[in-house]
Copies of this chain bind each other. A is one copy, B any other.
């Protein structure tokens, strides 16, 4: 029966788009692997092709019928990915490398912010920004700087998993830095959104040191408490679950555990994926974790491509057309910001002085900005700080960082393989 009276996005279109996403992700993933690239790069390209600006086979712009559903599925997808990666990560290794990760994160936030800030000042001087109130330039510069700060760990984690390098020291430093980076990003988000409100509306929205301190405390507090209580409770919980007989109970309990951690992370202002990652870390210590990993794999195979397809689908390829002269200043701004974005994160790798660890791998691993940068950009656009040209430029910068990281990381890792090695060979 074909009647569908309850939905603005008909079921059959949804099923078709779902099938197209799955097929495209695997076909392009396979092509990417054949040309010795990580599968995730293929998925990003697949998304670009089936997305709104080329074939328009999947909804890729907010407000389109079905967009919300695929957006939400993408969020579940990346949460499951980080949960899976958490399961494969040893918490003590992560903590052991905590100080190193922290330094990488801080440098990787401060330097890109600074480079972004001075780039905007330069754009203004050379008239690239058009007519704007000079007092306002500082706010624009700060907001652009903010869009350059937050690493999106999803891409890097997928690449590391694709090329089978999750168990290296580098991977652990990157994962740790990405979590800390999210906390630093949170602080910046608080400052920037307060600043925008103050400038635009002349309000004092209370950006105080006390406020910032509270936000930071809440985020760190969540991680510490979640992992401590989680470690204690998960063992008891999963012993209980072992006694249940109904089909699929272990998988669904583990998945619910991850989802609830994601929601809790969101409650304290962190990205849901940070919560999902923490849930993985906790469950990695239960004795069912191998079984969970095994059951989770097919579910992850279905959900995670949706995320990377949707990231690719959001790319408006028309912006890259250099024959449209209106694109030229946008492309110029985008390229400068892109260089700032790459350099800013790349140097963060050079804060690591441990022997046998590739500085380049860490620097490159921190490059992708993904959806977090886009959230900042969207905030800039909605609040009126960015005009549509600057928004496009920032979006292009985010895309480029996302697309360049997978091949670069694969290339660097292959190059450094002889020196970096696997951690399991080095720890007792």
Residues of A that sit less than 8 Å from B by CB: 1-3, 5-9, 11-12, 14-16, 18-19, 22-23, 25-26, 29-30, 33, 39, 62, 66-69, 71-73, 75-76, 79, 150, 162, 182, 185-186, 189, 244-249, 251-253, 255-256, 259-260, 262-263, 266-267, 269-272, 295-302, 305, 372, 375, 378-379, 382
Residues of B within 8 A of A252 (CB): 22-23, 25-26, 301-302, 305
Q: 10 tightest A-B contacts by CB?
A: A248-B301, A19-B259, A6-B62, A12-B266, A69-B69, A29-B246, A19-B256, A22-B252, A295-B298, A30-B246
Q: Nearest chain B CB to A311's CB is how many angstroms away? A: 13
Chain B residue with Cβ nearest A33: B246
- Do A247 and B301 form a contact, CB below 8 Å, given A5-B375, A69-B69? yes
Q: Is the CB of A79 within 8 A of B296?
A: no
CA distance A6 to B25 in the complex (A): 23
Selected A-B contacts with CB under 8 Å, 6 pairs: A1-B186, A12-B263, A16-B260, A26-B246, A26-B252, A29-B246
Known contacts A68-B69, A252-B26: does B379 contact A5 (CB below 8 Å)? yes
Q: Is the CB of B1 within 8 A of A372?
A: yes
- Nearest residue (CB) in B for A61 is B6
* Smallest CB separation, A323 vs chain B (Å): 30
A253: nearest chain-B partner, CB-CB:
B26
Residues on B with beta carbons closer than 8 Å to the beta carbon of A248: 26, 297-298, 300-302
Given contacts A244-B30, A295-B298, A301-B252, contact A75 B11 (CB under 8 A): yes
CA A140 to CA B372, docked complex, whole Å: 55
A305 to B251, CA, bound (A): 13
Distance in angstroms between the alpha carbons of A114 and B260 in the assembled complex: 50
A383–chain B nearest beta-carbon distance, Å: 10
Bound CA span A379–B29, Å: 43
Pairwise interchain contact A12-B267, C-beta atoms closer than 8 A: yes
- Expressed in whole angstroms, the Cα–Cα distance for A232 and B260 within the complex equals 45
Residue of B nearest to A79 (CB): B15
Residues of B within 8 A of A150 (CB): 1
- Measured in the bound complex, the distance between the Cα atoms of B263 and A222 in whole Å is 45
Cα separation A11 to B252 with both chains bound (whole Å): 19
Nearest CB on B from A104, distance (A)? 19
Q: Tell whether, in the assembled complex, residue B3 and residue A68 are in contact, meaning their CB atoms are under 8 Å apart.
A: no
C-alpha spacing A213/B271, complex, angstroms: 56
- Say yes or no: B15 contacts A272, CB within 8 Å: yes
Contact A72/B19 with A3-B375, A271-B1, A299-B298 known, Cβ cut-off 8 Å: no
Residues of B within 8 A of A272 (CB): 11-12, 15
Residues in chain B near residue A296, CB distance under 8 A: 298
Kindly report which residue of chain B lies nearest to residue A241, judged by CB atoms: B26
Inter-subunit contact A2/B246 (CB<8 Å): no
A22 near B255: Cβ-Cβ < 8 Å: yes
Report whether A249 and B79 are in contact in the complex, using a CB–CB cutoff of 8 Å. no
Across-interface contacts of A71 in B (CB, < 8 A): 6-7
Contact status A259-B375, CB under 8 Å: no
Q: How far is the CB of A194 from chain B (nearest CB, A)?
A: 13
Contacts of A62 in B (CB 8 A): 5-7
Contacts of A30 in B (CB 8 A): 244-246, 249
